[in-house]
Amino acid sequence: MADIRGFTTMSETHAPDVVVETLNRYLSKMSEVAVANGGVVDKFMGDAVMLLFGIPNAAPDDVQRALICAVQMQIAMKEMNRENKSLGLPALFMGVGINTGEVIAGTLGSALHSENTVIGNEVNVAARIESFSLRGQILISESTYARCADFVQVEEPMEVHMKGKTQPVTLREVLGIPSLSLQVPRQEIRKSPRVEVRLPFVYQSVKGKVVIPTEHKGLAHDLSYEGLLAEVSPDVMEHDEILVRMDLSLIGSDMQELYAKVRSIREVDQHRMAGIEFTTVKDDIERDLHRLVQLLMQGSSHK
Q: Torsions phi, psi of 183, nearest 5?
A: -125, 145
My answer on whether omega of the bond before 193 falls inside 30° of 0, hence cis, is no
Alpha helices for the chain (secondary structure H): 16-36, 62-87, 121-132, 142-145, 283-297
For the segment 36-66, what is each residue's pLDDT rounded down to a tens digit?
A: 999 999 998 888 899 999 988 899 999 999 9
Say yes or no to pLDDT of 6 above 70: no
Q: Do 2-183 and 194-297 fold alike per CATH?
A: no
Q: How far apart are CA 55 and CA 100, in angstroms?
A: 12
Angle at 199 between CA 232 and CA 275, to 5 degrees: 40
Instruction: Give me the pLDDT at residue 188, please.
Output: 63
For the segment 62-117, what is each residue's pLDDT rounded down to a tens digit?
A: 999 999 999 999 999 999 999 988 988 888 889 999 999 998 888 888 888 888 88
Instruction: Calculate the average pLDDT of the chain.
Output: 88
- In CATH, which of 2.40.30.110, 2.40.10.220, 2.60.40.10, 3.40.50.720 is domain 194-297? 2.40.10.220
Cβ-based burial of 189 (10 A; exposed 0-12, middle 13-18, buried ≥19): exposed
Q: Torsions phi, psi of 221, nearest 5?
A: -105, -20
Instruction: Give me the pLDDT at residue 282, please.
Output: 84
Residue 96 makes CB contacts below 8 A (sequence gap 6+) with: 4, 5, 6, 7, 70, 73, 74, 130, 133, 137, 138, 139
The total of other beta-carbon atoms located within 10 Å of residue 59's CB is 11
For the segment 237-260, what is each residue's pLDDT rounded down to a tens digit?
A: 999 999 999 888 888 887 788 999
The residue type at 138: I
In CATH, what class is 2-183?
alpha beta
Instruction: Give me the pLDDT at residue 87, please.
Output: 87
Which residues, listed in sequence order, are joined to residue 112 by a DSSP beta bridge?
none
User: Directed axis angle between helix 283-297 and helix 121-132, to 10°?
Assistant: 120
CB half-sphere exposure, 52, CA atoms < 13 A: 22
Annotated domain spans of the chain = 2-183, 194-297
For the segment 284-299, what is each residue's pLDDT rounded down to a tens digit?
A: 888 888 888 888 888 6
For the segment 198-228, what is each residue's pLDDT rounded down to a tens digit?
A: 999 999 999 988 999 999 999 999 999 999 9
